[in-house]
């Protein structure tokens, strides 16, 4: 065994001088320095599966919204969750071992540490997005899997959430918690049927234009559409644009969720009319934001905060109307990047509890798991809703006392099915938004009208060492470097409805600064001031 492990590592030598980190989104960097990482991830995935007695583990090759020349890889736990933190650390150590012999030694060390019987089966599901480097990197991963003697299933091109879906479905197959049929078709059938049932005869107004970021989401949505009711059958008219995967160099270029959210404008190719609903996916379709242009051609973004508030209010109504208000509570989980107006709307108007966690889906997911119904979204459009096992049980067993209660309960049950609970899923999320809008008979203007976003500004500052910036209170306050938070507080005091914070990015070598205030001018001014405080602090040795 040790010989083949070392051989696989030797075939894909680690480039000198690069330190890899398994971060918020797995390993992610320029694709041409990732071969060694992929081979070693194959080893780690096999060990993880064996440590869990042969449960299926997922490996997704993607760099999401990053430029086309980047790539990355992330591991998925059996229920479709993100990799356990302890294993993130082990993965990082493995990726940074210098020689093939070191790799083999560490492999055996981990096997001993976790008392892993190397003769138990290892099962791994792999998939990738549409990047040009994906097939080469898949080859490296497979070399690692074969060296470790793992059984693997290659699903080819998949969105990240499709991979999570298949992993969870494989591991729950034949149990009372069976999530779905563990195939691509099974995914479309599950979400297609749930969409139809959740609409329950309500007809979506107008059409939806979906920007696929020239990534894997476009063609997969085109496939999903075949399983949805047509417009004539009372379904939704969907136009898929920016779905050119033949030219992988166009991935995320001037399109996609990150472009729209960062630039606060529609992709230049957009040709839609006033008040037409649009949304943009990212490169691996685990993130979505909505937007439209009004009759004066002004752009309006409906981001992750908006999706969370819309969905929380809808679920709240359904719970009440089904007669479950005393049994089930709903909470919303956000990060510090959520607009203050959204937080306020959830607490004051929807009267729901808000939790704030550090940035990164895994933190939001963990916090949401503690709630009966946890609605979690990052402002940039990553998110979903999760239902606790007890809540699902209550919903399934509940006996409605009137036709109106039954009506609401049917919609609630179908909505549960429509939500990808393994992970935030742009395709499932966009269908969910459409269901809510159809039930409320709302267009984008009514949705936007629920509250008014505070003007805000997000910038980043390059410093010599971002790791000196340490935060507390869900990243909303700096504890290091000394005295910096005091300076930020002093600036925040000077503007109306001011709020600002600075934190080191987990995915880029920069410190991000967020500011919001009563007016655009004040928000931008505050962001500038805080950025210069950070810059000065970052320059000091
Ligand atoms: C402000 C912001 O949008 N941060 C993003 C970004 O994290 P940073 O740690 O801020 O670089 O990438 C993460 C992974 O995709 C995503 O979860 C998060 O929301
Ligand atoms: Mg993504």
In the residue annotation, 64 being an active-site residue is answered as: yes
Domain closes at, from 278, 301, 324: 301
Residues 460 and 441 in one domain: no
Instruction: Tell me how many helices (H) and strands (E) the chain has.
Output: 18, 19
Residues 11 and 146 in one domain: yes
Backbone angles phi, psi at 492, to 5 degrees: -60, -40
Sign of CA dihedral 331, 334, 336, 342: negative
Q: Which of 36, 46, 64, 169 is catalytic?
A: 64
Nearest CA to ligand 1 atom 10: 505
Q: How far apart are the CA of 303 and the centre of ligand 2, in A?
A: 15
Is residue 458 a contact partner of residue 337, using CB atoms and an 8 Å limit? yes
Q: pLDDT in tens for each of the 541 residues of the chain?
A: 556 999 999 999 999 999 999 988 899 999 999 999 999 999 999 999 999 999 999 999 999 999 999 999 999 999 999 999 999 999 999 999 999 999 999 999 999 999 999 999 999 999 999 999 999 999 999 999 999 999 999 999 999 999 999 999 999 999 988 999 999 999 999 999 999 999 999 999 999 999 999 999 999 999 999 999 999 999 999 999 999 999 999 999 999 999 999 899 999 999 989 999 999 999 999 999 999 999 999 999 999 999 999 999 999 999 999 999 999 999 999 999 999 999 999 999 999 999 999 999 999 999 999 999 999 999 999 999 999 999 999 999 999 999 999 999 999 999 999 999 889 999 999 999 999 999 999 999 999 999 999 999 999 999 999 999 999 999 999 999 999 999 999 999 999 999 999 999 988 889 999 999 999 999 999 999 999 999 999 986 5
Q: How far apart are the CA of 281 and the centre of ligand 2, in A?
A: 8
Residues 35 and 113 in one domain: yes
Domain closes at, from 448, 469, 489: 448
Domain that holds residue 204: 186-301
Specify the DSSP class assigned to residue 231.
T
Residues 405 and 474 in one domain: no
Alpha-carbon gap, residue 408 to 285, rounded angstroms: 30
Domain total for the chain?
4
> Considering the domain boundaries, does residue 180 fall inside one?
no
Atom of ligand 1 nearest to the CA of 24: 14
Residues 330 and 439 in one domain: yes
Q: Closest Cα partner for 51 from 26, 22, 75, 21?
A: 75
Could you tell me if the ipTM is greater than 0.90?
Answer: yes
Residues 273 and 314 in one domain: no
Residues 311 and 438 in one domain: yes
Alpha-carbon gap, residue 49 to 56, rounded angstroms: 6
Q: Residue 526 has which token pair?
A: 């505050």
Alpha-carbon gap, residue 454 to 201, rounded angstroms: 36
> Considering the domain boundaries, does residue 57 fall inside one?
yes
> Considering the domain boundaries, does residue 168 fall inside one?
no
Q: How far apart are the CA of 154 and the centre of ligand 2, in A?
A: 20
Q: How far apart are the CA of 380 and the centre of ligand 1, in A?
A: 8
> Considering the domain boundaries, does residue 177 fall inside one?
no
Q: What digits encode the pLDDT tens for the residues 224-282?
A: 999 999 999 999 999 999 999 999 999 999 999 999 998 999 999 999 899 999 999 99
Residues 269 and 310 in one domain: no
> Considering the domain boundaries, does residue 170 fall inside one?
no
> Considering the domain boundaries, does residue 162 fall inside one?
no
Give residue ranges with CB within 6 A of ligand 1.
24-25, 64, 337, 359-361, 378, 380, 382, 505-508, 512
Residues 75 and 199 in one domain: no
Q: Any idea what the CATH number is for the domain that residue 249 is in? A: 3.40.120.10
Instruction: Give the helix/strand (H/E) hosting 375.
Output: strand 373-377
The ligand placed nearest to the CA atom of residue 257 is: 2
Burial of 431 (0-12, 13-18, 19+ CB in 10 A): buried
Q: What digits encode the pLDDT tens for the residues 78-117?
A: 999 999 999 999 999 999 999 999 999 999 999 999 999 9
Residues 419 and 492 in one domain: no
Residues 327 and 259 in one domain: no
Residues 6 and 152 in one domain: yes
Q: Closest Cα partner for 304 from 421, 383, 415?
A: 383
Is residue 190 a contact partner of residue 224, using CB atoms and an 8 Å limit? no
Q: Any idea what the CATH number is for the domain that residue 474 is in? A: 3.30.310.50
> Considering the domain boundaries, does residue 172 fall inside one?
no
Q: Which pTM was predicted?
A: 0.96
Q: Residue 65 has which token pair?
A: 């919204």
> Considering the domain boundaries, does residue 175 fall inside one?
no
- Residue that the structure tokens 């004040």 belong to: 522
Collect all residues with Cβ–Cβ distance below 8 Å to 174 and sequence separation of at least 6: none
Q: Residue 471 has which token pair?
A: 């935060």
Nearest CA to ligand 1 atom 18: 360
Domain closes at, from 422, 448, 474: 448
């Amino acid at each position: 065994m040790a010989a083949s492990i070392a051989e696989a590592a030797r075939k894909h030598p680690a480039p000198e001088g690069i330190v890899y980190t398994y971060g918020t989104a797995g390993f992610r960097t320029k694709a041409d320095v990732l071969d060694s990482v992929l081979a070693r991830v194959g080893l780690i995935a096999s060990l993880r599966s064996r440590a869990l007695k042969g449960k299926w583990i997922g490996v997704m090759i993607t760099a999401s919204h990053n430029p086309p020349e980047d790539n990355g890889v992330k591991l998925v736990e059996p229920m479709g969750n993100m990799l356990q933190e302890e294993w993130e650390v082990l993965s990082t150590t493995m990726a940074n071992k210098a020689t093939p012999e070191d790799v083999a030694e560490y492999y055996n060390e981990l096997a001993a540490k976790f008392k892993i019987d190397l003769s138990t089966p290892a099962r791994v599901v792999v998939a990738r997005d549409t990047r040009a480097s994906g097939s080469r990197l898949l080859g490296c991963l497979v070399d690692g899997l074969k060296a470790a003697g793992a059984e693997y299933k290659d699903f080819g091109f998949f969105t990240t959430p499709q991979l999570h879906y298949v992993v969870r479905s494989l591991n729950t197959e034949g149990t009372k918690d069976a999530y779905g049929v563990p195939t691509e078709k099974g995914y479309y059938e599950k979400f297609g049927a749930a969409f139809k049932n959740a609409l329950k005869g309500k007809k979506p107004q107008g059409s939806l234009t979906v920007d696929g970021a020239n990534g894997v989401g476009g063609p997969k949505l085109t496939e999903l559409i075949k399983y949805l009711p047509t417009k004539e059958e009372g379904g939704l008219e969907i136009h898929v644009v920016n779905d050119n995967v033949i030219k992988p160099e166009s991935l995320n270029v001037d399109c996609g969720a990150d472009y729209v959210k960062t630039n606060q404008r529609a992709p230049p190719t957009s040709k839609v009319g006033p008040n037409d609903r649009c949304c943009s996916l990212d490169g691996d379709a685990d993130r979505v934001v909505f937007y439209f242009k009004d009759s004066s051609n002004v752009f309006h973004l409906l981001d992750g905060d908006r999706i969370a508030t819309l969905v929380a209010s809808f679920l709240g109504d359904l719970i009440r109307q089904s007669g479950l208000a005393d049994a089930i509570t709903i909470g919303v989980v956000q990060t510090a990047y959520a607009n203050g107006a959204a937080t306020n709307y959830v607490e004051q108007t929807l009267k729901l509890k808000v939790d704030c966690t550090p940035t990164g889906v895994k933190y939001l997911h963990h916090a949401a798991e503690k709630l009966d119904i946890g609605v979690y979204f990052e402002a940039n459009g990553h998110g979903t809703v999760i239902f606790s096992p007890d809540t699902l049980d209550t919903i399934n067993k509940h006996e409605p006392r009137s036709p109106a209660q039954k009506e609401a309960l049917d919609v609630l049950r179908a909505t549960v099915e429509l939500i990808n609970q393994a992970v935030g899923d742009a395709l499932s999320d966009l269908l969910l938004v459409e269901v809510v809008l159809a039930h409320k008979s709302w267009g984008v203007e009514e949705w936007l009208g629920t509250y008014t976003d505070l003007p805000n500004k997000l910038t980043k500052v390059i410093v010599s060492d971002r790791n000196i910036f340490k935060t507390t209170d869900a990243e909303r306050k700096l504890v290091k470097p000394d005295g910096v938070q005091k300076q930020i507080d002093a600036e925040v005091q000077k503007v109306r409805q001011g709020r600002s914070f600075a934190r080191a990015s987990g995915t880029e070598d920069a410190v991000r600064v967020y500011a919001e205030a009563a007016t655009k001018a004040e928000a931008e001014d505050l962001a500038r001031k805080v950025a210069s405080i950070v810059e000065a602090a970052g320059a000091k040795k």
